[in-house]
């Protein structure tokens, strides 16, 4: 399952359409809190998470999952790309990092890699 967590409804809609076009199962959530209350991901899943969201941000979500013993590949997306954000995502163990708008094929490739190498 590909879980998309982003407070921007248009990003969720576009990502959902992209995943479905690639025959990937997908669910979208408008916040980290909504995601956490709805499911428990596994290493076989992949998260596509916005870094900047109200409430719990994407980095906080990834940290919470790891501290809870839930190891799942996380690919971060952001509209606010800068060195500090990239470094924070890398330090958090990101399986990928993309600036919005992202390249569809590059994102699909990153998801495929992350699902095959969940420890990356």
Share of the chain above pLDDT 70, in %: 96
Which pLDDT score is estimated for 115? 76
- Whether pTM > 0.75 for this model: the answer is yes
- If you write DSSP's letter for every residue of 35-94 in order, what string do you get? HHHH----TTSEEEEES--SSS-HHHHHHHHHHTT----EEEEESS--HHHHHHHHHTT-
Q: Residues 18-59: pLDDT tens digits? A: 999 999 999 999 999 999 999 889 888 999 999 999 999 999
Q: Is 117 helix (H, G, I), strand (E, B) or coil?
A: coil
Picking from 67, 76, 62, the residue whose alpha carbon sits closest to that of residue 6 is: 76
Residue whose pair of structure tokens reads 């420890």 in the numeric block: 119
Q: Is 26 helix (H, G, I), strand (E, B) or coil?
A: strand
Q: Which domains does the chain have, with CATH numbers?
A: 2-116 (3.40.50.2300)
CB 85 within 8 A of CB 43: no
């Amino acid at each position: 399952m590909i879980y998309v967590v982003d407070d921007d409804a248009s990003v969720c809609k576009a990502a959902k359409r992209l995943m479905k076009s690639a025959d990937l199962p997908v669910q979208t959530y408008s916040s980290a809190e909504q995601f956490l209350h709805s499911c428990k991901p596994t290493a076989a899943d992949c998260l596509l998470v916005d870094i900047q969201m109200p409430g719990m941000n994407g980095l906080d979500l990834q940290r919470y999952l790891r501290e809870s013993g839930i190891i799942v590949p996380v690919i971060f997306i952001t509209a606010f790309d800068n060195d500090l954000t990239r470094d924070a995502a890398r330090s958090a163990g990101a399986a990928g990092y993309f600036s919005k708008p992202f390249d569809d094929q590059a994102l699909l490739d990153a998801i495929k890699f992350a699902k095959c190498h969940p420890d990356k």
